[in-house]
Structure 1
Amino acid sequence: MTISHPSLISSSKGLESIANAKSPTIVIVGGPAGTGKTTVGEMLTASLNSAYIEGDQLHPEDNIKKMASGIPLTDDDRWGWLKTVAETSHKLCVKAAAKVNNDESDSSIYCVASCSALKKVYRETILDKIQEINSQSEIKARVFFVFLYADKQVLIARTSARKHHFMASTMVNSQFEIMQVPEGSELLEEGGNSLTVDTEGKSPEKITVEILERLHARSI
């Protein structure tokens, strides 16, 4: 599991005011393979001075073997993994909250996690688990999803060029078959907890700034 706490970096004028948020916030960076979830997640982590979780590394060994062999995961393969992502994210929020409390700091608390969260029901599973944990914890974390997407052929080309990653490029097709990009009431603009970002033709830096600006516009 990859967890990091990089120093705060500047990304765009005025974005430092994002740190005014008071509730611990979990930002889930989702989307199909090749959209840059890890790279963008790490940049958000640095900008928000947060903890980071690489969701792929929380998959059980059986899931990793299936994906490496080009075998699509079933819903049953994913339920436990999604709950693990939620639990691990909340645990890091609790640890960060304890540190802030000990330091008597007014710093905001963030945790960034990469997790494909391809279907609406997967996002709901993560949210439901966080809410369940919130009901039993003094730390009440809120959750927002950032869903990255791009043209399928672009993502196939990107994943084909990757080295040392268990996700086979052939998995992009199966991911697109089940993918449900957040829409309607899921979107922040409609009172939901998700925003979508078209990553095609954009650098990771530009994508990160766009995300931060849009979160800031909603006081997140």
Structure 2
Amino acid sequence: MQRKRIRPAPAVVVMGVAGCGKSAVGEALAAALGAVFVEGDRLHPPENVARMASGEPLTDALREGWLDAIGLRIAGPVGDGQSVVAACSALKRSYRERLRGFCQDILFLYLEIDPATAKQRVGSRQGHFMPASLVDSQFATLERPAADENALTLDATRPIADIVADVTSLFESNS
């Protein structure tokens, strides 16, 4: 894990390409923090799901409404004083900025993974709309979080429990 000083935030977005473990890490982290969990994949409109299921990557324009839906699902509980953990690819800086438009104080956890491992994981998933053939397009779109973003880079090949323990220990040490 990249060690650096982080600001605790009321909202955490677990981000990265398909197959990096956003949902699994996000759910476990939300449980550990007593936070609301938002599954970004469930907020895709049917047209986006159909497009991806047929092997076509989403465009920036097609992602806008989806990102807005996630942003609203983050902002609601945060506005009520609750913590939120969301799973969202947030592949580009502009996507992360769009989410920050709904909640300025977001910590992004970038789950870094190599293309071969991501393809293997996506290919072995059951019942998910994203085919392994789209993994390369995710890497092509990916803009890793920059140093000026409130973000941590984590090794997505580590066990989920270890990732969650590392993140929660950072929160505890910054409280």
* TM-score above 0.5, yes or no: yes
Aligned length: 168
- The aligned counterpart of 1:43 is 28
- The aligned counterpart of 1:117 is 90
Q: Distance in 1 between the 2:61 and 2:174 partners? A: 34
Q: Which moved more, 1:210-219 or 1:62-71?
A: 210-219
1:169-208 Cα distance to aligned partner (Å, 9 max, x none): 111100000101112212xxxxxx11111212x1111111
| TM-score, normalised via structure 2 length | 0.90
The runs of at least 4 aligned residues of structure 1 exceeding 4 Å deviation read none
- The aligned counterpart of 1:175 is 138
Name the % identity.
Answer: 38
Unaligned runs of 5+ in 2: 1-7
CA contact (8 A) 2:74 2:102 kept: no
| TM-score, normalised via structure 1 length | 0.72
Instruction: Say yes or no: does 1:79 pair with 2:52.
Output: no
Pairs within 5 Å for 1:23-102: 25-95=10-80, 97=81
CA contact (8 A) 2:11 2:85 kept: yes
SS in 2 for 1:170: helix
Unaligned runs of 5+ in 1: 1-20, 98-108, 132-141, 187-192
1:41-67 Cα distance to aligned partner (Å, 9 max, x none): 111111111111100100111101011
Whose radius of gyration is greater, 1 or 2?
1
Instruction: Say yes or no: does 1:198 pair with 2:155.
Output: yes
1:9-32 Cα distance to aligned partner (Å, 9 max, x none): xxxxxxxxxxxx7xx711111111
SS in 1 for 2:102: helix
RMSD value, Cα: 1.5
The structure with higher relative contact order (CA 8 Å, sep 6+) is: 2
- The aligned counterpart of 1:130 is 103
